[in-house]
Amino acid sequence: MDKNSSNIMALAPNTSNKRETVCIFGTGDFGRALGHKMIQSGYPVVFGSRSTQISSLIPKGAEVLSHAEAAQKAAIIIIAIQRQHYNFLIPLTEILHGKVLVDVSNNLKINEHPESNAEYLAQLVPGAKVVKAFNTVSAWALQSGTLDASRQVFVCGDDMEAKQTVMNIVRALGLTPLDQGSLLAAQEIENYPLRLFPMWKFPILLSFGLASFFFFYCLIRNVIYPYVYENKDFSFFIAISIPNRICPILALILLALVYLPGVLAAIIQLYRGTKYHRFPDWLDKWMLCRKQLGLVALAFASLHVLYTLVIPIRYFVRWRMSSQITSQVLNNKTEPLDTTNAWLSDSYVALGILGFFLFVLLGITSLPSVSNNVNWREFRFVQSKLGYLTLILCTAHTLVYGGKRFLSPSSYRWYLPNAYMLSLIIPCMVLVVKFVLIFPCLDKPLTRIRQGWERNPQYSEQSHYIINKSAV
């Protein structure tokens, strides 16, 4: 009897897992999409609206009531309307007292109002527990189910229990909640969707500036100079030749700029004798966007590969090769094989292939889907050890390409060196300084500093005291 009854109990539905009713104020695109997602996740949903007529747009299984009636049926109310319409909540203050209000609104401009929308909502309804959430998820992503790019949901609020309730709802919808603290963080959360590629701004602007400089630099040397002194029109170089010079130059410089801040940070730590001191703001920001710099560098390297692959089919290249062959036939003269140039050519290509292979490997391991599956030591080995090896190979690729041209007077047109010579300045500096830093006399104290050792503990204690005192 007991055994059978236990089997019956095991087969019976677990009523304790029943979801609590959620009220949504607003029947716009986002409100309907969020309601549909919640119904799919097992939440009973009731919409509060000015019009109680059920429309075909309302998700199937949801109720539509007046604002007051809908608020009375749920302890969690999602405010899916814009800030300028919040005033209708004032007459509902008594009904909303003690309930969880989830603000999902965004603004049109960064810091559009003195306070965040969530803080403004808390002022209008002082008895409610206001939580900010779901403002980084789009209605389209909720409807289509493609949440891979926007799976993270920032959550903040002053009431811990209310915030935890909202985070449980976020998890039930298949999203990832990120606790951002108190409601003071709402302003930053509301500004987040308005920022256009915040971590990509510096790399893109830097790339644009360098590309513009080297474009005009190559234009002067390779198009204007031949036209002025030799009366030759090489304006068609603008299409492929000049971009194929610019892309590898930018790839090499940007790759060097990925590792330059780490070298500067090591020098600063050696100079200060401690790691318990903030780096300058410009260095902090630079180090935060190293991943983006590396990916932009990889993009330029990939373009260089594509431009190089089309070189044999260019009309200018085919014309020049046919002219050289015709000239040798007419002169009855064959150019002998230059083994030195053959070695330089093959070495230059081999170094480029190896460098690009490791470049792609660095880009792949920086992807979240890959980096999340490796431990810190493996990630550091790829990004640091293989990264410097990539920089060495790419720098050697450029050096071998130059060959004897570094000392050739004809390479300096209007006293301007070839563009690839300029591209070697930063990489060579980074590699030389890094080589010096691996000497035991510098590497050992640097390792000790990064493990917590301090050359001047009193200075560090004073700085800690100042920081703690300012925090209090």
pLDDT digits (tens, 9 = 90+) for 50-68: 887 777 788 888 889 999 9
**DSSP at 76:** E
How high is the pLDDT of residue 456?
79
What residue type is 411 in one-letter code? Answer: S
Summarised one tens digit per residue, pLDDT across range 239-293 is 999 999 999 999 999 999 999 999 999 999 999 888 888 889 899 889 988 999 9
3-state secondary structure of 66: coil
Q: Where are the alpha helices (DSSP H) in 179-314?
A: 186-191, 201-219, 225-229, 241-272, 281-288, 290-309
Summarised one tens digit per residue, pLDDT across range 438-459 is 999 998 999 898 888 888 775 5
> Which residues 6+ apart lie within 8 Å of 269 measured at CB?
275, 446, 449, 450
How high is the pLDDT of residue 349?
92
Summarised one tens digit per residue, pLDDT across range 287-313 is 988 999 999 999 999 999 999 999 889
Averaged over 350-359, what is the pLDDT? 94
Predicted TM-score of the model (pTM) = 0.70
> Which residues 6+ apart lie within 8 Å of 187 measured at CB?
111, 115, 116, 119
Sheet containing 22-25, strands listed edge to edge, beginning at the edge strand earlier in sequence: 63-65, 45-48, 22-25, 76-79, 100-103, 129-132, 152-157, 176-179
Summarised one tens digit per residue, pLDDT across range 27-47 is 888 999 999 999 999 999 999
How high is the pLDDT of residue 458?
59
Ranking 1-15, 139-153, 182-196 by mean pLDDT, the lowest is 1-15
Q: At what angle do helices 425-437 and 387-402 cross, to 10 degrees?
A: 130
Distance CA 76, CA 172 (A): 15
**DSSP at 221:** I
CB-CB contact of 243 with 307 (8 Å): yes
Mean of per-residue pLDDT scores for the chain = 86
How high is the pLDDT of residue 108?
87
pLDDT band per the 50, 70, 90 thresholds, residue 10: very low
pLDDT band per the 50, 70, 90 thresholds, residue 146: low
Summarised one tens digit per residue, pLDDT across range 386-409 is 999 999 999 999 999 876 777 777
**DSSP at 381:** I
Structure tokens at 354: 């190896």
Max Cα-Cα span within the chain: 110
Greater confidence, 214 or 339?
A: 214
366 — phi, psi (to 5°)?
Answer: -85, -10
How high is the pLDDT of residue 148?
53
With a cut of 80, say whether residue 463 has pLDDT above it: no
Averaged over 208-219, what is the pLDDT? 95
Q: What is the dihedral of CA 272, 278, 283, 289, to 10 degrees?
A: 140
Summarised one tens digit per residue, pLDDT across range 76-113 is 999 999 999 999 999 999 999 999 999 999 988 888 88
Averaged over 162-186, what is the pLDDT? 92
Structure tokens at 99: 């309930």
Nearest to 417 by CA among 143, 220, 174: 220
Distance CA 309, CA 301 (A): 13
CB-CB contact of 290 with 260 (8 Å): no
Residue position matching structure tokens 């999902």: 104
Beta strands in 133-179 (DSSP E): 152-157, 176-179
Greater confidence, 415 or 469?
A: 415
With a cut of 90, say whether residue 471 has pLDDT above it: no
